Chain A
Amino acid sequence: MAVYTMRRLLAAIPVLLAASVLCFLLIDLSGDPLGDLRVAQPPVDPAVIASEEVRMYLDRSVPQRYLLWMTGIGGNGDIGLLQGKFGPSVRGPAFDIGAEIGARFLITLRLVVIALMMAIGLAIVSGVISAVKQYSTVDYLLTFTGFLALAMPAFWIGALIKEGGVWANRELGTGFATIGAASADTRGFTAWESFTDAAAHLFLPTLALMLTGYAALSRYQRASMLEVLNSDYVRLARAKGVRNRVVIRRHALRTALIPLTTVSALVIAGTIDGAIIIERIFQWRGLGDFFLESVSTNDSYSVMGWLMLSGIIVVTANLVADLLYGVLDPRIRYG
C-alpha cells in the first residue's frame, strides 16, 4: 500500500506540472493584470505602471515568469511555489496570496464540511429507504426529490433557498441570514450569540450546498444498495432467518457503502471547487469568492494559486478514493 501510495504521489507530480504550465499559459493569454491600471482615470503616472510591471514580473517573458513562479529563483522573495510563495498580487505589495488562500480555505471548509456531512448522511438514509422500499410511494418521492435537486442548477437552488429564508423570516419570524458568514457587527457577542449568529448564516448556504451534493449521492447509494440486496449472500442471510433489520444494517449497508465512500472523496473535492456559486450567492468570502475576485481583476498569480490548490485537492481526492477502495473492499489489493 505504501509503495502504491508513493507511486501515485510521484505520478501526480507530472500531472500537476503539466496542469500548471497549461493554466499559466491560459491565464497569461486571458488578460493583462495591469489592464485596469493602464486605463485608469486620471491616468496613472507611467513610472508607477512601470514599477508595477517590475513588481508583477511582467517585464519578463512568459517562460521566465513561469520558472520564476515555480522556483522563485531570480525573484524578489515574494514568489516561488516550491518555496511556499505564491507571487505578487495586483491588490498591492502587502497582499499575501498564500495567507489569503489559507484563510479563505478555512471559510470554505466550514461551509463544505457541514454541507457534505449532511448530504452524505441524508443520501445514505434516503438511498437505503429507496432501495428497501423499491417502487413504493416513498421510493418515487425520494427519487423525484433526488432528480429535482439533480436537475436544478446550483445558482437556482441557492436563489430559491435564499428567497425561502427571507420569506420564513418575514412570515415565521425566523432569523436566517442571507449574506456573509457572520453578521456585520458581532462585537460584544457572547459565545452562544456567536454560535447562533454563525448558525443563522450557515443554514441557508449549507442547505443549498447540501442539496446539490445530496442529489447525486442518494442515487448512487440507492443503486448500490439495490445491487447488494439482490446478491446471493443477502439472500442466504435471509434464508438463514436473520432478521431483516440486521440483514440490511450489518450485511447489506456495510457493503453498499463502499462505492459511496469512494465517490464521496471525489464529491468533496468537487464541492470545494463547486462552492464558488453558493459562496457568490450568499456572499461568503471563501475560496470561491477569492477565485472570482482574482479572475475579475486578472490577478494572475492569485488565479494560479487557486488553480494549483484545486488541482492538488482533486489529485489527492482521487488518490484517497482509490486507497479507500482498497481498504474497504478486501477483494482489492494494491501492489
Chain B
Amino acid sequence: MQARTKLARTAAMVLVPVMALAACAGSDDDTEGADGPGTTDPADPPGNGVEAQPGFETCPEDPYNCNSGERADGGSITWLVVSGVRTWNTYSPEGGTVYGLQVLHGIYPHIGMFGPDRETFEFNMDLLAEEPQLLSEDPYSWQYVIRDEAVWDDGTPITADDFSVSWKLGTSAEAGHCEGCRSRATTNFDQIESVEGSDDGKTVTLTLKPGEVNLEWFTMFGVDDVGGGVMPAHVAAENGFDVDDPAQLGDYFEWLQETMPTFSGGPYRIVEGNLEERVIKEPNENWYGETQPTLDTYIMRIIPDQGAWVPALSNNEIHGGSPIQLIEDILRSLDQMPNVHYHIQPGPAWEHIDFNLDVPELQDVALRRAIFTAIDADNIAARIYGEMYPEYTRRTNHLFAEDHPNHVDLVTETGMGSGDTDAALAILAEAGYEFDGQTLTLDGDQIGPFRLRATSDLVRSTSMELIQADLAQIGVETNIEPTDDLGTMLFEGDYHIAQFGWSGDPAFVGLTSQYYTTGSPSNFGGFTNDDVDRLAQEELTRLDIDEAADIANEIMRIVLDEAYVLPLWDVPVFTFITDDYVNVRDNTATSLRGVYNNHEWGTAVQ
C-alpha cells in the first residue's frame, strides 16, 4: 500500500510539470490564434448578413469568384467536418451521407455539380472532353466523352468500365447486377439498361430501359448523385473481385465499405485517416485537371461538438468550415476574431410543418387551413434569425427556392403562414367550429390537444413555442413533445403536427412523387390525392423539363390547397475561413458546401 501510494504521489508530482512543459513546448505550427478578443457590445447583433465580411462582399453578385485570390505554393489547411462518417463507401446508406460525400470529395472523379449560383449545372471539364449530350429520347440515351488525360492516380485510364461498375454498385438487388450491394438510392440506376464503352472506353454511352425518362440525366454520376462520383473498376480487379460476377461485386461493395481509399481519380489522394477523427489528403500527382492543388496537406477534422469549434479555430487547430445551420453563439465569437471571415446565405435545406392525416380531427381540411393561417411564419423566422440574418428567405414553394428558375410563389396568396388570426377564425366559423375565446369546439367536442413535435434544437424549440402560442389564439391546444429520434418519429407517424426539414439540390424531378404520392415512404403524414398521384406520374414521363416543373408546381398548388404541408423558410447556413486562405467559398446548391472547389484552395499570397 505504501509503495502504491508513493507511486501515485510521485507520478502525480512528476507528470504535472512534465506535461505542462511538454505542452508549453508546443510545435512549430502552433504559432497563432486570434489576435485577442475585441469589445463586445451586447446590443450589437452577430451576423454580417447585413455588413458583408472581407472577401465575401461580392458573393451575392459573383458567387463563383468571391473570396478569390492568388495562391502561394504549399501550406496546409484543416477543415471542419461537423459529423462523423460511418463507412468509406459513399454508395452505401452509412457512407453516403452529406459528411461522407464531403470527406471523400476530391477522390472520386465526377461528372459535375450545380454551381454556387444555385442554378447552373457545371460539368466537370477536367474529366470530360466535351459537354455531355443527350443522344436520344427513345430510348433515352446520353454520352460522356472522357479526356484521354483523365487517369487514376496509378496511371490507369478512367474509362467506361469505371462507370459500368459504379452503375452496378448503385442498383437494387432486383436488377441482378450485384448480390449484396446495399445502395442508398437505386431509382435512377435501376432505370439504366446499359453502360457501354467505345474508343478504348473513353466514350461512355448510357441507355435507359424502354419507356424510362430521366430529365435530369446530366446530374447522374455528379457529386450529389448516389455515390458522389465514380468508383474504380481496376481496383476491384487488383483486389481479386470479378465485377461481372454479382456475388463478387457484392464483395467489392463491402470491401469499399471498410477500406480507406488510397486510390484517387481526383485532385487529392488520402494518405492517412480514420472515420472518427480526421482524414489527411495530399495532392494527387497524376491529377489531370487544369487547376492543380497548391496545398501540401489538406486535413478534414471531424468535430461533432459545436462548443469545440471556436476554441479549435482560435487555437489554429481548424481553419474553416461550413456548418449546417446558423449558431448565434458561434457567430458572436467569430465576430471577435479579426482574422476570420464568414458568409451567411440560404442553405440547401428548408423547414416545413406537416400534418399527420391519420389523426381523425386533422382530416378536416378547414381545420388544417385555419391552423396554417394562424401560424405566423415570418414572425417565427424573424425571432429566430432576425438578429443574425435579417435577410432570411421565407419559403413560398415546396420544391423551388426563391432563386430557382421555376420558382412560383404559391404560399403568399393563400394566407397560410400569415398569422392572420381573424382569417383563421373565419375559416373555422364557416366550417362549423365554435370558439369561445379560449377553446375551439366542433359539435360541442373540444378540438385537440394536438401533439406538436420536432427535434429539440434551439431553432425548432423556439419555433414550437411560437407555433403553440399562435394556435392558442384560435383555441387550438397543443402539447410540445420534442424528440431526439426524428427518423423513428416520422416513420411511425408518431406526431400530430411536426416540423422538420428537407434538403436537396436544384434538381427536382421526382420529388413530388417522393413526398406527396399515395403510399410513398417519404409521405409520412399519409396524404392521398388522386390528382397528385396522376400528375406525379405525368411529371416523370415528360420530356421537357419546364413542362415537368409546371406539373410539379401544379402538384404543389394542390398540396397547399389541401393544407398538408406549410413551407416555412430556407435554413440559413454559414461558411467561415481564416484570412490565410483564398478561394474558399460556399456552394449551397450541393451537399459539398464549402469543399466543392477544394482543389482551388490555397494559402493567400502575403
Contact = CB atoms under 8 A, between A and B. Distances in A.
A296 B307 CA distance: 17
A184 B308 contact: no
Interface in A196-232: 196-197, 199-200, 202-203, 206
B257 A93 contact: yes
A185 B297 contact: yes
Interface in A1-58: 30-32, 34-48, 51-52
A197 to B, nearest CB: 7
Interface in B501-521: 502-504, 514, 520-521
Indicate the size class of the contact surface on chain A.
Answer: 35 or more
A46 B86 contact: no
B272 A94 contact: no
Nearest to A155: B307
A41 B23 contact: no
A120 interface: yes
Interface stretch (A70-78, A134-142, A275-283, A308-316): A275-283
Given A118-B16, A197-B27, A203-B20, A179 B308 contact: yes
B19 interface: yes
A304 interface: no
A94 B254 contact: yes
Most buried by A among B174, B187, B299, B488: B488
Contacts of A296: 484
A187 interface: yes
A114 B15 contact: yes
Nearest to B184: A44
Interface string A90-101: 111111000000
A81 interface: no
A120 B24 contact: no
Contact of B317 (A122, A177, A193): A177
Contacts of B311: 162-163, 165-166, 178-179
Contacts of A30: 485
A91 B86 contact: yes
B336 to A, nearest CB: 12
Contacts of B280: 184-185, 187
Interface string B142-163: 0000000000000000000000
Interface stretch (B4-12, B193-201, B228-236): B4-12
B47 interface: no
A39 B33 contact: no
Contacts of B23: 174-177, 196, 199-200, 203
12 contacts: A35-B491, A39-B524, A45-B173, A45-B183, A45-B186, A48-B186, A124-B5, A166-B33, A178-B317, A179-B301, A184-B299, A203-B20
Interface of B: 1-2, 5, 8-9, 11-13, 15-16, 18-20, 22-27, 30, 33-34, 36, 76, 78, 84, 86-87, 92-95, 172-174, 182-187, 254, 257-258, 271-272, 276-278, 280, 297, 299, 301, 303-305, 307-308, 311-312, 314-315, 317-318, 484-492, 502-504, 514, 520-522, 524
Given A30-B485, A94-B87, A282-B308, 12 more contacts: A37-B93, A43-B522, A48-B182, A48-B186, A90-B86, A93-B254, A118-B15, A120-B12, A121-B12, A196-B26, A200-B27, A285-B276
Q: What are the 8 tightest A-B residue pairs by CB atom distance, in nearest-first order?
A: A175-B26, A121-B12, A35-B487, A199-B22, A35-B488, A94-B258, A31-B485, A42-B185
